[in-house]
Structure 1
Amino acid sequence: MNTRAIEQFLKVVELRSVSRAATVLGQSQPALSRALRQLEADIGTELLYRDGRGVRLTDQGERFARWAAEFVDQIDQMRRDLDGEAGGRLRGATIGLLPALSRQLAVPLTRALRDLYPDALLRIVEGSCGHLVEWLADGRLDIAIVFDKPPLRRLNPEPVATQFLHLVGAKSLGKLGSTIPFRELADRPLILSSRPLGNRGELEGIAQRLGIELDVVMEVDSLDSLLKLLEAGEGWSILPAKALQEEIAHYRLQAAELIEPRMDRTLVLVLPVNRVPMPGAAALVRAIKSEIQRIYAVEGRRPRDTGIGWADRAQPMQRGAE
């Protein structure tokens, strides 16, 4: 049982409808239904039942709802007290996201942070990893959410989640299975980012160890341009498919997880160094981390050592996890 599930339950009770609550919470109805079923399993009793006009509380649900409302009030008070101890309430923040992540995270993050900080002015800025780190250093960003790279280690990035990389291309180029060995990339024309960006260096290092040569026919650093080229069948690319699942569907693309070796990318939160934290910074980090992990949790992601398909291959990570 977790705080988020209890808050979701209370929203369903308030609106008397799972579908309306899902819309307000910014998640799918099946995901919310799963969260409610898990909450009932954790408690060990049925809390809600459906009738022709929506959902209603059982007798046990009535009792639990009263306790849950008091519990959430106490949690909110604790957050307010901690914010005050950390230097005051958050008044505003500028959050930097990679373009691929922005497509997946911008809407749910905005909704969650507005609920927590209704008076704060929140801004979301897109840019490459290099640009986001540069903007952190010169004060234009308060926090960045990027994929981890060795140069970032000096900034003490906080791991949040892992996403696995896939070969992505047009269906017209031939059907892919659910996985593809890295060695088979040698036979495919690839459209990749330029060397200073993305995962180009890692890809070339693995190819060298396997004794193969990658056929890079084009370098593109714009995600939108890359997706259009892939749709046109101009080649294949290596992307975190889960973060781009809506785009993959829109551009009629397909994806297969790279294996032998598998490649993953760790999603991290990065804060400015040598700068006094803004009021409410600690609470903001907690909220962002919690929301990102909630997004992964409600979409059914499981640990990386299980054999699951590409649509599920990402999961929350704890700080310090490999």
Structure 2
Amino acid sequence: MDLKQLRSFLHVAETGSLSKAAKRLNVTQPALSRQIRLLEEDAGVALFIRTGRGVLLSEAGALLEGRARVLSEEMERLKMDMTAFAGTVQGEVRLGLPPSVGLVLAGPVIERFRADYPNVRLRVTQLLSGALQDALLEGRMDIGVLFEGNVSSQLHSEPLWSEQLYFITAPTQPWASRKEVTLEECLEQPFILPGTKHGLRDLLDKEAAKIGKAINVVVEAESLAIQTELVCRALGSTILSYEACKSHVEAGRLIALPLVNPTVERVSTLVWSKDYPLTMAAQAMSEVIRESAAKVFTPL
């Protein structure tokens, strides 16, 4: 069995769709279909059940998925080990960060990396978590930081730190006089949040479901700057880390109330694609991120 075919198989298995997997892999659907057909011919059994809405794993496909994932991860580790013998760290690193992380971590990470690896070109992009995950899966980013939750199984994910989330709203009554707020209380409010494919939204939807509630999202904003600006205008509230809106809070435009009963935390993780093993330069970046994060945040 060909490793490329196995990796394509894993993407189809995860997305449940040949068209979605082809888009992610940046190949045509006929080319991807041919890879899957050849893999099925080699296996001597159908790996997917075709339906009107996509594909489902057959019994044989479910067995292959677990073993193919182990093989893919072992090949990733092997390639990473081999790059350790490649010599001087050079080339390019494409780093992706969510806005709330970039505000705090981008400065120290880039400063340290440029000092230690002056021969490496560095491209830094700020994206919300859903778009960042797509960029990593499609090979448009080498390494990034995502929030734990709905991270693709096709990404290597390493927890870095955890941070508490706050109820963020305009400084109006009754919130201006409060010191904290329960999750159930704040869920009665209209919210401004990113779309459902983003890590923060996924986390909050799950926390709300635990207490039998749903979030009343009146505006979906795919930009942290727009999100906080709309909250400043009292058009709704949101939930974020304190660092994500610190400047607005210190300027008196927003207030940040700790969530209690329960507290809500999110875990930030270092991620890269299992289909695109890290180069020496990207491995160096991963070490800089780990060390810088440990100085800025409380590591896990």
Same fold per TM (> 0.5)?
yes
**How far does residue 221 in structure 1 lie from its aligned partner after superposition?**
2.0
Residue of structure 1 equivalent to 2:94? 94
Alpha-carbon distance change, 250 to 133 in structure 1, aligned in 2, over 3 angstroms: same
| Deviation string, structure 1 residues 2-49 (Cα, Å, up to 9, x no partner) | xxxxxxxxxxxxxxxxxxxxxxxxxxxxxxxxxxxxxxxxxxxxxxxx
Structure 1 stretches of 4+ with a deviation exceeding 6 A read none
| Deviation string, structure 1 residues 206-233 (Cα, Å, up to 9, x no partner) | 3343244443332222211111111111
Residue of structure 1 equivalent to 2:218? 217
| Deviation string, structure 1 residues 125-152 (Cα, Å, up to 9, x no partner) | 1112222222223322110111112333
Distance in 1, Cα, partners of 2:240 & 2:113: 28
Counterpart amino acid of residue 89 in structure 2 = R
Counterpart amino acid of residue 128 in structure 1 = L
Counterpart amino acid of residue 123 in structure 1 = R
**How far does residue 94 in structure 1 lie from its aligned partner after superposition?**
1.1
| Deviation string, structure 1 residues 257-290 (Cα, Å, up to 9, x no partner) | 2121211111111122123431243332111110
Distance in 2, Cα, partners of 1:123 & 1:258: 36
Aligned residues: 218
List aligned pairs for 1:299-314, cutoff 5 A. none
Alpha-carbon distance change, 203 to 133 in structure 1, aligned in 2, over 3 angstroms: closer
Distance in 2, Cα, partners of 1:236 & 1:118: 43
Asked if residue 316 in structure 1 is aligned to residue 299 in structure 2, the reply is yes
Distance in 1, Cα, partners of 2:270 & 2:238: 26
Residue of structure 2 equivalent to 1:74? none
Distance in 1, Cα, partners of 2:116 & 2:208: 46
Root-mean-square deviation (CA), in Å? 2.4
List aligned pairs for 1:84-123, cutoff 5 A. 85=85, 87-123=87-123
Distance in 2, Cα, partners of 1:127 & 1:251: 27
Alpha-carbon distance change, 189 to 281 in structure 1, aligned in 2, over 3 angstroms: closer
Residue of structure 1 equivalent to 2:198? 197
**How far does residue 92 in structure 1 lie from its aligned partner after superposition?**
2.4
> TM-score, normalising length from structure 2?
0.65
Distance in 2, Cα, partners of 1:205 & 1:284: 32
Distance in 1, Cα, partners of 2:176 & 2:241: 19
Distance in 1, Cα, partners of 2:140 & 2:208: 38
Task: Using the TM superposition, name which of 101-110 and 275-284 deviates more.
Answer: 275-284
SS of the equivalent of 1:157 reads: strand
> TM-score, normalising length from structure 1?
0.61
Structure 2 residue runs without a partner (length 5+): 1-82
Task: Using the TM superposition, name which of 193-202 and 266-275 deviates more.
Answer: 193-202
Counterpart amino acid of residue 290 in structure 1 = E
Distance in 2, Cα, partners of 1:213 & 1:135: 30
Distance in 2, Cα, partners of 1:205 & 1:133: 19
**How far does residue 176 in structure 1 lie from its aligned partner after superposition?**
5.1
Residue of structure 2 equivalent to 1:266? 267
Alpha-carbon distance change, 249 to 153 in structure 1, aligned in 2, over 3 angstroms: farther
List aligned pairs for 1:114-193, cutoff 5 A. 114-173=114-173, 174-175=175-176, 177-193=178-194
